[in-house]
Protein backbone atom coordinates (compact mmCIF):
# COMPACT_ATOMS: atom_id res chain seq x y z
CA UNK A 1 0.00 0.00 0.00
CA UNK A 2 1.44 3.36 -0.94
CA UNK A 3 1.95 5.84 1.91
CA UNK A 4 0.38 8.65 -0.07
CA UNK A 5 -1.67 8.38 -3.21
CA UNK A 6 -3.14 11.24 -5.18
CA UNK A 7 -5.61 10.37 -7.89
CA UNK A 8 -6.75 12.86 -10.55
CA UNK A 9 -6.48 15.63 -8.02
CA UNK A 10 -7.82 19.09 -8.90
CA UNK A 11 -7.84 22.35 -7.03
CA UNK A 12 -9.76 25.20 -8.56
CA UNK A 13 -10.17 28.53 -6.82
CA UNK A 14 -13.22 30.47 -7.92
CA UNK A 15 -16.95 30.19 -8.29
CA UNK A 16 -17.47 27.60 -11.00
CA UNK A 17 -15.00 24.85 -10.19
CA UNK A 18 -17.03 21.93 -11.62
CA UNK A 19 -17.22 23.38 -15.12
CA UNK A 20 -13.54 24.25 -14.94
CA UNK A 21 -12.67 20.68 -13.99
CA UNK A 22 -14.62 19.39 -17.01
CA UNK A 23 -12.81 21.70 -19.39
CA UNK A 24 -9.41 20.99 -17.88
CA UNK A 25 -10.05 17.25 -17.95
CA UNK A 26 -10.49 17.62 -21.72
CA UNK A 27 -6.90 18.72 -21.78
CA UNK A 28 -7.29 22.46 -21.99
CA UNK A 29 -4.57 24.71 -20.62
CA UNK A 30 -5.51 26.72 -17.59
CA UNK A 31 -4.99 29.95 -19.49
CA UNK A 32 -7.81 28.94 -21.87
CA UNK A 33 -10.43 28.94 -19.16
CA UNK A 34 -9.77 32.39 -17.72
CA UNK A 35 -13.24 33.40 -18.90
CA UNK A 36 -14.71 31.27 -16.11
CA UNK A 37 -12.99 33.54 -13.58
CA UNK A 38 -11.33 30.65 -11.87
CA UNK A 39 -7.74 29.93 -10.95
CA UNK A 40 -6.72 26.37 -11.55
CA UNK A 41 -3.88 25.67 -9.16
CA UNK A 42 -3.64 21.89 -9.37
CA UNK A 43 -4.84 20.00 -12.44
CA UNK A 44 -5.20 16.25 -12.82
CA UNK A 45 -2.32 15.31 -10.56
CA UNK A 46 -1.86 11.62 -9.83
CA UNK A 47 1.04 9.93 -8.10
CA UNK A 48 1.88 7.33 -5.52
CA UNK A 49 4.52 7.67 -2.85
CA UNK A 50 5.90 4.48 -1.37
CA UNK A 51 6.68 4.24 2.36
CA UNK A 52 10.22 5.38 3.12
CA UNK A 53 10.55 7.32 -0.10
CA UNK A 54 11.62 10.92 -0.55
CA UNK A 55 9.25 12.24 -3.18
CA UNK A 56 10.12 15.69 -4.45
CA UNK A 57 7.55 17.92 -6.09
CA UNK A 58 9.36 20.47 -8.17
CA UNK A 59 8.10 23.45 -10.07
CA UNK A 60 8.43 27.17 -10.51
CA UNK A 61 6.40 29.57 -8.46
CA UNK A 62 2.78 29.44 -9.55
CA UNK A 63 3.05 25.84 -10.63
CA UNK A 64 0.71 24.80 -7.82
CA UNK A 65 3.14 22.88 -5.66
CA UNK A 66 2.31 24.64 -2.38
CA UNK A 67 -1.40 24.16 -3.06
CA UNK A 68 -0.77 20.50 -3.82
CA UNK A 69 1.09 19.82 -0.60
CA UNK A 70 -1.65 21.50 1.44
CA UNK A 71 -4.21 19.23 -0.12
CA UNK A 72 -2.25 16.19 0.95
CA UNK A 73 -3.00 16.87 4.62
CA UNK A 74 -6.35 18.51 4.06
CA UNK A 75 -5.30 22.06 4.92
CA UNK A 76 -6.93 22.99 1.64
CA UNK A 77 -10.08 21.18 0.53
CA UNK A 78 -9.83 19.48 -2.86
CA UNK A 79 -12.07 20.31 -5.79
CA UNK A 80 -12.10 16.89 -7.39
CA UNK A 81 -10.17 13.64 -7.21
CA UNK A 82 -8.91 11.87 -4.13
CA UNK A 83 -5.99 11.78 -1.71
CA UNK A 84 -5.24 8.61 0.19
CA UNK A 85 -3.00 8.53 3.23
CA UNK A 86 -2.09 4.96 4.11
CA UNK A 87 -5.22 3.78 2.39
CA UNK A 88 -7.64 6.28 3.94
CA UNK A 89 -9.30 8.69 1.54
CA UNK A 90 -8.87 11.96 3.41
CA UNK A 91 -11.21 13.86 1.11
CA UNK A 92 -14.06 11.97 2.75
CA UNK A 93 -13.02 12.67 6.33
CA UNK A 94 -14.80 15.07 8.67
CA UNK A 95 -13.07 17.97 10.34
CA UNK A 96 -12.12 16.23 13.54
CA UNK A 97 -11.07 13.01 11.82
CA UNK A 98 -8.88 15.11 9.57
CA UNK A 99 -7.29 16.78 12.60
CA UNK A 100 -6.64 13.38 14.13
CA UNK A 101 -5.04 12.18 10.92
CA UNK A 102 -2.79 15.23 10.77
CA UNK A 103 -1.65 14.93 14.35
CA UNK A 104 -0.99 11.19 14.09
CA UNK A 105 0.12 10.55 10.54
CA UNK A 106 1.26 13.63 8.68
CA UNK A 107 3.41 16.43 10.03
CA UNK A 108 4.73 19.41 8.16
CA UNK A 109 7.81 21.63 7.89
CA UNK A 110 7.29 25.15 6.62
CA UNK A 111 9.21 27.47 4.33
CA UNK A 112 9.51 30.27 6.85
CA UNK A 113 9.86 27.81 9.72
CA UNK A 114 6.55 28.86 11.37
CA UNK A 115 8.01 28.42 14.83
CA UNK A 116 6.02 29.85 17.70
CA UNK A 117 8.10 32.83 18.84
CA UNK A 118 6.59 32.84 22.33
CA UNK A 119 7.52 29.26 23.11
CA UNK A 120 10.88 27.78 23.96
CA UNK A 121 12.68 25.60 21.44
CA UNK A 122 11.70 22.58 23.52
CA UNK A 123 8.03 23.55 23.62
CA UNK A 124 8.10 24.18 19.90
CA UNK A 125 9.55 20.75 19.24
CA UNK A 126 6.99 19.17 21.56
CA UNK A 127 4.05 20.93 19.94
CA UNK A 128 2.77 18.01 17.90
CA UNK A 129 2.70 15.80 20.97
CA UNK A 130 1.12 18.55 23.04
CA UNK A 131 -1.74 18.80 20.56
CA UNK A 132 -2.13 15.04 20.74
CA UNK A 133 -2.45 15.33 24.51
CA UNK A 134 0.75 13.51 25.50
CA UNK A 135 1.80 14.13 29.11
CA UNK A 136 4.45 16.76 29.72
CA UNK A 137 7.32 14.47 30.81
CA UNK A 138 6.89 12.12 27.91
CA UNK A 139 6.58 14.81 25.26
CA UNK A 140 9.56 16.70 26.63
CA UNK A 141 11.65 13.55 26.51
CA UNK A 142 10.64 12.89 22.90
CA UNK A 143 11.22 16.52 21.92
CA UNK A 144 14.68 16.40 23.46
CA UNK A 145 15.40 13.26 21.49
CA UNK A 146 14.27 14.92 18.26
CA UNK A 147 16.32 18.04 19.00
CA UNK A 148 19.36 15.87 19.62
CA UNK A 149 18.77 14.15 16.28
CA UNK A 150 19.01 17.48 14.46
CA UNK A 151 22.02 18.52 16.53
CA UNK A 152 20.35 21.07 18.75
CA UNK A 153 20.90 19.58 22.18
CA UNK A 154 21.68 22.30 24.68
CA UNK A 155 19.39 24.85 22.97
CA UNK A 156 16.13 23.64 24.49
CA UNK A 157 15.50 26.67 26.63
CA UNK A 158 16.23 29.35 24.06
CA UNK A 159 13.44 30.94 22.09
CA UNK A 160 13.38 30.74 18.28
CA UNK A 161 14.37 34.41 17.94
CA UNK A 162 17.74 33.59 19.47
CA UNK A 163 18.56 31.04 16.78
CA UNK A 164 19.98 31.47 13.28
CA UNK A 165 17.82 30.61 10.27
CA UNK A 166 19.40 27.20 9.81
CA UNK A 167 18.94 26.34 13.46
CA UNK A 168 15.34 27.53 13.37
CA UNK A 169 14.59 25.18 10.52
CA UNK A 170 16.27 22.39 12.48
CA UNK A 171 13.73 23.12 15.20
CA UNK A 172 11.01 22.97 12.54
CA UNK A 173 12.36 19.60 11.47
CA UNK A 174 12.60 18.43 15.09
CA UNK A 175 8.98 19.46 15.61
CA UNK A 176 7.94 17.25 12.71
CA UNK A 177 10.18 14.39 13.86
CA UNK A 178 8.98 14.57 17.47
CA UNK A 179 5.38 14.32 16.31
CA UNK A 180 6.46 10.85 15.24
CA UNK A 181 4.35 10.65 12.13
CA UNK A 182 5.29 8.32 9.31
CA UNK A 183 4.82 11.02 6.71
CA UNK A 184 6.48 14.43 6.71
CA UNK A 185 5.48 17.16 4.28
CA UNK A 186 8.18 19.74 3.63
CA UNK A 187 7.07 22.93 1.92
CA UNK A 188 10.12 24.63 0.44
CA UNK A 189 11.70 23.83 3.75
CA UNK A 190 15.20 24.91 2.83
CA UNK A 191 14.43 27.70 0.37
CA UNK A 192 14.82 30.48 2.91
CA UNK A 193 18.28 29.32 3.96
CA UNK A 194 21.55 30.44 2.47
CA UNK A 195 23.29 27.97 0.17
CA UNK A 196 25.87 26.54 2.58
CA UNK A 197 23.36 25.98 5.35
CA UNK A 198 20.96 24.56 2.82
CA UNK A 199 23.50 21.94 1.78
CA UNK A 200 24.08 20.99 5.41
CA UNK A 201 20.37 20.64 5.99
CA UNK A 202 19.97 18.52 2.87
CA UNK A 203 22.74 16.22 4.05
CA UNK A 204 21.16 16.00 7.47
CA UNK A 205 17.75 15.28 6.02
CA UNK A 206 19.17 12.47 3.90
CA UNK A 207 20.91 10.99 6.93
CA UNK A 208 17.79 11.23 9.08
CA UNK A 209 15.65 9.72 6.37
CA UNK A 210 18.10 6.86 5.95
CA UNK A 211 18.05 6.09 9.67
CA UNK A 212 14.36 6.71 10.40
CA UNK A 213 12.80 5.63 7.12
CA UNK A 214 10.18 8.39 7.09
CA UNK A 215 8.12 9.02 4.00
CA UNK A 216 8.96 12.56 2.94
CA UNK A 217 7.19 14.71 0.40
CA UNK A 218 9.45 17.62 -0.33
CA UNK A 219 8.45 20.72 -2.26
CA UNK A 220 11.12 22.82 -3.92
CA UNK A 221 11.69 25.15 -6.83
CA UNK A 222 15.38 24.30 -6.91
CA UNK A 223 16.14 21.51 -9.34
CA UNK A 224 19.55 20.79 -7.86
CA UNK A 225 17.91 20.32 -4.49
CA UNK A 226 15.26 18.11 -6.03
CA UNK A 227 17.87 15.97 -7.74
CA UNK A 228 19.96 15.68 -4.61
CA UNK A 229 17.14 14.70 -2.26
CA UNK A 230 14.54 12.93 -4.31
CA UNK A 231 14.28 9.25 -4.85
CA UNK A 232 11.68 10.31 -7.37
CA UNK A 233 10.83 13.75 -8.65
CA UNK A 234 7.52 15.08 -9.86
CA UNK A 235 7.94 18.10 -12.12
CA UNK A 236 4.88 20.35 -12.07
CA UNK A 237 4.13 22.86 -14.79
CA UNK A 238 1.16 25.21 -14.67
CA UNK A 239 -0.61 22.89 -12.26
CA UNK A 240 -0.11 19.74 -14.31
CA UNK A 241 2.42 16.97 -13.89
CA UNK A 242 5.09 17.31 -16.56
CA UNK A 243 7.06 14.22 -15.57
CA UNK A 244 7.54 11.86 -12.66
CA UNK A 245 10.73 9.86 -12.39
CA UNK A 246 14.09 9.43 -10.73
CA UNK A 247 16.64 12.21 -11.01
CA UNK A 248 18.51 10.29 -13.64
CA UNK A 249 15.41 9.53 -15.67
CA UNK A 250 14.49 13.16 -15.72
CA UNK A 251 17.99 14.20 -16.55
CA UNK A 252 18.65 11.61 -19.20
CA UNK A 253 15.18 11.13 -20.60
CA UNK A 254 13.10 14.29 -20.20
CA UNK A 255 9.47 13.77 -21.13
CA UNK A 256 9.10 17.04 -23.03
CA UNK A 257 10.87 20.24 -24.00
CA UNK A 258 9.79 21.98 -20.84
CA UNK A 259 11.53 19.45 -18.63
CA UNK A 260 14.48 19.34 -21.01
CA UNK A 261 14.87 23.11 -20.77
CA UNK A 262 14.55 22.86 -17.09
CA UNK A 263 17.26 20.31 -16.61
CA UNK A 264 19.61 21.93 -19.09
CA UNK A 265 21.39 23.97 -16.48
CA UNK A 266 21.53 21.28 -13.88
CA UNK A 267 24.92 20.48 -12.55
CA UNK A 268 24.98 16.88 -13.67
CA UNK A 269 27.99 16.08 -11.56
CA UNK A 270 25.95 16.60 -8.43
CA UNK A 271 23.08 14.48 -9.59
CA UNK A 272 24.90 11.51 -11.01
CA UNK A 273 26.41 9.27 -8.41
CA UNK A 274 29.16 6.72 -8.47
CA UNK A 275 26.68 3.88 -8.80
CA UNK A 276 25.25 5.32 -11.99
CA UNK A 277 28.57 5.79 -13.77
CA UNK A 278 30.63 2.91 -12.42
CA UNK A 279 31.73 -0.07 -14.45
CA UNK A 280 32.25 -3.70 -13.69
CA UNK A 281 35.57 -4.32 -11.94
CA UNK A 282 37.63 -6.33 -14.41
CA UNK A 283 40.11 -7.85 -13.98
CA UNK A 284 40.38 -9.04 -10.41
CA UNK A 285 43.00 -11.20 -8.76
CA UNK A 286 42.93 -12.96 -5.43
CA UNK A 287 45.48 -11.88 -2.81
CA UNK A 288 46.51 -15.51 -2.47
CA UNK A 289 47.62 -15.69 -6.10
CA UNK A 290 51.26 -15.09 -7.02
CA UNK A 291 52.60 -12.31 -9.27
CA UNK A 292 52.76 -14.69 -12.19
CA UNK A 293 49.07 -15.46 -12.10
CA UNK A 294 48.30 -11.77 -11.70
CA UNK A 295 50.40 -10.90 -14.73
CA UNK A 296 48.57 -13.52 -16.78
CA UNK A 297 45.21 -12.13 -15.76
CA UNK A 298 46.26 -8.66 -16.84
CA UNK A 299 47.61 -9.92 -20.15
CA UNK A 300 44.40 -11.86 -20.81
CA UNK A 301 42.36 -8.72 -20.25
CA UNK A 302 44.92 -6.47 -21.87
CA UNK A 303 44.98 -4.09 -18.95
CA UNK A 304 47.97 -2.50 -17.22
CA UNK A 305 46.53 -3.05 -13.74
CA UNK A 306 44.27 -5.39 -11.77
CA UNK A 307 42.19 -5.18 -8.60
CA UNK A 308 43.11 -7.35 -5.69
CA UNK A 309 39.91 -8.68 -4.14
CA UNK A 310 39.37 -11.36 -1.50
CA UNK A 311 36.91 -14.21 -1.99
CA UNK A 312 34.18 -12.28 -0.16
CA UNK A 313 34.66 -9.40 -2.59
CA UNK A 314 36.34 -7.12 -0.02
CA UNK A 315 38.82 -4.87 -1.69
CA UNK A 316 42.51 -5.11 -0.81
CA UNK A 317 44.00 -2.78 -3.40
CA UNK A 318 45.41 -2.90 -6.90
CA UNK A 319 48.56 -4.02 -8.65
CA UNK A 320 50.09 -2.63 -11.81
CA UNK A 321 51.91 -4.19 -14.71
CA UNK A 322 55.36 -2.67 -14.06
CA UNK A 323 55.62 -3.72 -10.43
CA UNK A 324 54.30 -7.21 -11.18
CA UNK A 325 56.65 -7.57 -14.12
CA UNK A 326 59.65 -6.78 -11.93
CA UNK A 327 58.42 -9.18 -9.27
CA UNK A 328 58.09 -11.97 -11.79
CA UNK A 329 61.64 -11.29 -12.98
CA UNK A 330 62.91 -11.35 -9.39
CA UNK A 331 60.97 -14.55 -8.85
CA UNK A 332 58.88 -13.22 -5.97
CA UNK A 333 56.23 -15.74 -4.92
CA UNK A 334 53.59 -13.65 -3.16
CA UNK A 335 51.76 -10.41 -3.93
CA UNK A 336 52.49 -8.94 -0.47
CA UNK A 337 54.20 -5.61 -0.75
CA UNK A 338 53.20 -5.14 -4.39
CA UNK A 339 49.62 -4.08 -3.72
CA UNK A 340 48.95 -0.36 -3.90
CA UNK A 341 46.09 1.20 -2.02
CA UNK A 342 43.16 2.63 -3.98
CA UNK A 343 41.05 5.75 -3.67
CA UNK A 344 37.62 4.54 -2.53
CA UNK A 345 34.20 6.08 -2.96
CA UNK A 346 30.75 4.87 -1.98
CA UNK A 347 27.99 4.22 -4.52
CA UNK A 348 26.19 7.40 -3.33
CA UNK A 349 29.10 9.75 -3.88
CA UNK A 350 28.15 12.40 -6.44
CA UNK A 351 30.37 12.60 -9.46
CA UNK A 352 31.35 16.15 -8.49
CA UNK A 353 33.08 14.90 -5.38
CA UNK A 354 35.17 12.32 -7.16
CA UNK A 355 37.35 14.50 -9.38
CA UNK A 356 39.88 15.39 -6.72
CA UNK A 357 40.27 11.76 -5.68
CA UNK A 358 40.52 10.66 -9.28
CA UNK A 359 43.38 13.10 -9.81
CA UNK A 360 45.36 11.74 -6.89
CA UNK A 361 45.74 8.18 -8.05
CA UNK A 362 46.90 6.53 -11.22
CA UNK A 363 44.34 3.75 -10.72
CA UNK A 364 40.62 4.01 -11.39
CA UNK A 365 38.45 4.90 -8.39
CA UNK A 366 37.13 1.90 -6.53
CA UNK A 367 33.46 1.94 -5.59
CA UNK A 368 32.95 0.01 -2.37
CA UNK A 369 29.85 -0.62 -0.31
CA UNK A 370 29.45 -0.34 3.46
CA UNK A 371 31.32 -3.58 4.03
CA UNK A 372 34.27 -2.57 1.88
CA UNK A 373 33.21 -4.94 -0.89
CA UNK A 374 34.19 -3.86 -4.38
CA UNK A 375 31.06 -3.14 -6.40
CA UNK A 376 32.51 -1.26 -9.32
CA UNK A 377 35.26 0.93 -10.64
CA UNK A 378 35.31 4.34 -12.27
CA UNK A 379 38.10 5.04 -14.72
CA UNK A 380 38.84 8.68 -15.30
CA UNK A 381 37.50 8.69 -18.83
CA UNK A 382 34.14 7.50 -17.59
CA UNK A 383 34.06 10.29 -15.08
CA UNK A 384 34.48 12.87 -17.82
CA UNK A 385 31.96 11.13 -20.05
CA UNK A 386 29.39 11.49 -17.31
CA UNK A 387 29.48 15.23 -17.88
CA UNK A 388 28.13 14.99 -21.38
CA UNK A 389 24.51 16.02 -21.83
CA UNK A 390 22.53 13.07 -23.14
CA UNK A 391 20.36 14.97 -25.59
CA UNK A 392 23.02 17.20 -26.99
CA UNK A 393 23.53 17.38 -30.74
CA UNK A 394 25.13 13.99 -30.90
CA UNK A 395 22.69 11.46 -29.54
CA UNK A 396 24.62 8.32 -30.24
CA UNK A 397 27.53 9.16 -28.07
CA UNK A 398 25.37 10.87 -25.52
CA UNK A 399 23.31 8.12 -24.07
CA UNK A 400 25.54 5.29 -23.23
CA UNK A 401 28.40 6.48 -21.05
CA UNK A 402 26.39 8.09 -18.33
CA UNK A 403 24.45 4.88 -17.96
CA UNK A 404 27.58 3.36 -16.60
CA UNK A 405 27.60 0.60 -19.17
CA UNK A 406 30.95 -0.31 -20.48
CA UNK A 407 31.54 1.38 -23.78
CA UNK A 408 34.41 1.44 -26.20
CA UNK A 409 37.21 3.54 -24.88
CA UNK A 410 37.35 5.47 -28.12
CA UNK A 411 33.71 6.45 -27.93
CA UNK A 412 34.07 7.47 -24.34
CA UNK A 413 36.98 9.71 -25.10
CA UNK A 414 35.06 11.36 -27.88
CA UNK A 415 32.20 12.13 -25.59
CA UNK A 416 34.48 13.54 -22.99
CA UNK A 417 36.07 15.74 -25.59
CA UNK A 418 32.81 17.08 -26.91
CA UNK A 419 31.16 17.50 -23.54
CA UNK A 420 29.28 20.76 -23.76
CA UNK A 421 29.85 22.06 -20.29
CA UNK A 422 32.91 20.54 -18.75
CA UNK A 423 32.72 21.04 -15.04
CA UNK A 424 35.39 23.17 -13.49
CA UNK A 425 36.76 20.27 -11.48
CA UNK A 426 36.90 18.21 -14.61
CA UNK A 427 38.93 20.84 -16.37
CA UNK A 428 41.39 20.83 -13.55
CA UNK A 429 41.77 17.11 -13.53
CA UNK A 430 42.60 16.93 -17.20
CA UNK A 431 46.23 18.11 -17.30
CA UNK A 432 47.61 14.96 -15.77
CA UNK A 433 50.73 13.00 -16.56
CA UNK A 434 50.27 11.06 -19.75
CA UNK A 435 50.93 7.69 -18.18
CA UNK A 436 47.79 7.93 -16.15
CA UNK A 437 45.61 8.41 -19.14
CA UNK A 438 47.04 5.26 -20.59
CA UNK A 439 46.30 3.36 -17.40
CA UNK A 440 42.75 4.65 -17.37
CA UNK A 441 42.05 3.66 -20.89
CA UNK A 442 43.64 0.37 -20.39
CA UNK A 443 41.46 -0.62 -17.54
CA UNK A 444 38.48 -0.50 -19.81
CA UNK A 445 38.03 -3.66 -21.69
Partner 1 sequence: MSPVSYAVPVPRIPVGESFDSAINWLRINFEVVFDFIGMVIQICVDNLFSLLAETSATQFTLAAAGVVGVGLLARKRYAPTLIAVAIWAGFYVAELSAGLAASVIASLPAPLFVWAMNLFGSSYVYPPLVLALLLFAALVALSFIVTRDRGQQIIAAASAASLLAVLALHFIVGVQLSLIVGALLAVLAYFIAGWGVALFSVLGFLLIISMESWSNAMSSLALILVATLVAVAVSVPIGVLAAQSRKVSTVIKPVLDFMQTLPAFVYLLPAIAFFSIGTVPGVIATVIFSMPPGVRLTELGIRQVDKELVEAGEAFGAPDFQILRRIQIPLALATIMAGINQIIMLSLSMVVIAGMVGAGGLGNDVYTGIAQGDVPVGFEGGIAVVILAIFLDRLTGAVTRFSPAARAQRASA
Q: How far apart are the first and last CA of the chain?
A: 44
- What part of residues 133-172 is at the interface with partner 1 (CB under 8 A)? 158-162
Task: Describe the chain by its helix, strand, coil percentages, rounded to 5.
Answer: 45, 20, 35
264: contact with partner 1 by CB under 8 A: no
Question: What distance in Å separates the CA atoms of residue 47 and residue 206, rounded to the nearest whole number?
Answer: 22
Kindly give, in sequence order, each residue whose CB lies less than 8 Å from that of residue 361, ignoring residues fewer than 6 positions away: 342, 343
Give the orientation angle of helix 195-212 with respect to helix 165-178, to 10 degrees. 20
Asked if 219 and 230 count as a contact pair (C-beta separation under 8 A), the reply is no
Q: Which stretch binds partner 1 (CB under 8 A): 97-105, 296-304, 407-415, 432-440?
A: 97-105
List the one residue from 127, 218, 355, 363 that touches partner 1 (CB under 8 A): 127
Residues across the chain? 445
- CA-nearest of 6, 46, 191 to 109 is 191
- What part of residues 180-199 is at the interface with partner 1 (CB under 8 A)? 185
Pairing of strands 374-378, 344-345: unpaired
Question: What distance in Å separates the CA atoms of residue 13 and residue 15, rounded to the nearest whole number?
Answer: 7
- CA-nearest of 349, 387, 382 to 368 is 349
User: Of 111 and 314, which CB lies nearer to partner 1 in the complex structure?
Assistant: 111
Asked if 56 and 271 count as a contact pair (C-beta separation under 8 A), the reply is no
List the one residue from 15, 29, 132, 299 that touches partner 1 (CB under 8 A): 132
CB of 150 to partner 1, least distance (A): 17
Compose the 75-94 pattern: x for residues touching partner 1 by CB under 8 A, - for all others.
x-------------------
DSSP 372-437: -BEEEEE-HHHHHHTTS-TTSS-HHHHHHHHTT----HHHHHHHHHH-SS--HHHHHHSS--HHHH
User: Of 19 and 158, which CB lies nearer to partner 1 in the complex structure?
Assistant: 158
List the one residue from 41, 146, 179, 367 that touches partner 1 (CB under 8 A): 179
CB of 165 to partner 1, least distance (A): 13
User: Of 20 and 189, which CB lies nearer to partner 1 in the complex structure?
Assistant: 189
User: Of 56 and 108, which CB lies nearer to partner 1 in the complex structure?
Assistant: 108
128: contact with partner 1 by CB under 8 A: yes
Q: What is the SS3 assignment for 49?
A: strand
CB of 108 to partner 1, least distance (A): 4
Count helices and strands (H / E) in the chain: 21, 16
99: contact with partner 1 by CB under 8 A: yes
List the one residue from 1, 35, 87, 117 that touches partner 1 (CB under 8 A): 117
CB of 127 to partner 1, least distance (A): 6
CB of 76 to partner 1, least distance (A): 10
Beta-bridge mates of residue 40? 12
102: contact with partner 1 by CB under 8 A: yes
List the one residue from 16, 19, 28, 119 that touches partner 1 (CB under 8 A): 119
29: contact with partner 1 by CB under 8 A: no
Q: Considering CB under 8 A, how many residues would be counted as binding partner 1?
A: 33
List the one residue from 111, 204, 418, 445 that touches partner 1 (CB under 8 A): 111
Question: What distance in Å separates the CA atoms of residue 238 and residue 62, rounded to the nearest whole number?
Answer: 7
User: Of 96 and 211, which CB lies nearer to partner 1 in the complex structure?
Assistant: 96
436 φ/ψ angles, rounded to the nearest 5 degrees: -65, -45
User: Of 74 and 376, which CB lies nearer to partner 1 in the complex structure?
Assistant: 74
User: Of 129 and 208, which CB lies nearer to partner 1 in the complex structure?
Assistant: 129
Interface residues toward partner 1, by CB under 8 A: 73, 75, 96, 99-104, 106-108, 110-112, 114-119, 127-128, 131-132, 158-162, 175, 179, 185
Amino acid sequence: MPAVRADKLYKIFGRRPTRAVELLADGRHRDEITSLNVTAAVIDVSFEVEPGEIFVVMGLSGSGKSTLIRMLNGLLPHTSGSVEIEGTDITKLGKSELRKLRSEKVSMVFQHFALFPHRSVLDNAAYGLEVRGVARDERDAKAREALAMVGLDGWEHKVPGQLSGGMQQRVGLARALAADTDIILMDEAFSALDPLIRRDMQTQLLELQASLGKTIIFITHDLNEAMRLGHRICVLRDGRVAQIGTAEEILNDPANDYVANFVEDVDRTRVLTASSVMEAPIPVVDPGQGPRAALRTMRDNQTPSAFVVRRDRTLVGAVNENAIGEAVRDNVKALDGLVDSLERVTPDTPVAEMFAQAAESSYPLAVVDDEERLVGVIPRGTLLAALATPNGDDNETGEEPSRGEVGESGTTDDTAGTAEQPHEDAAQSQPDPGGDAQATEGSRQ
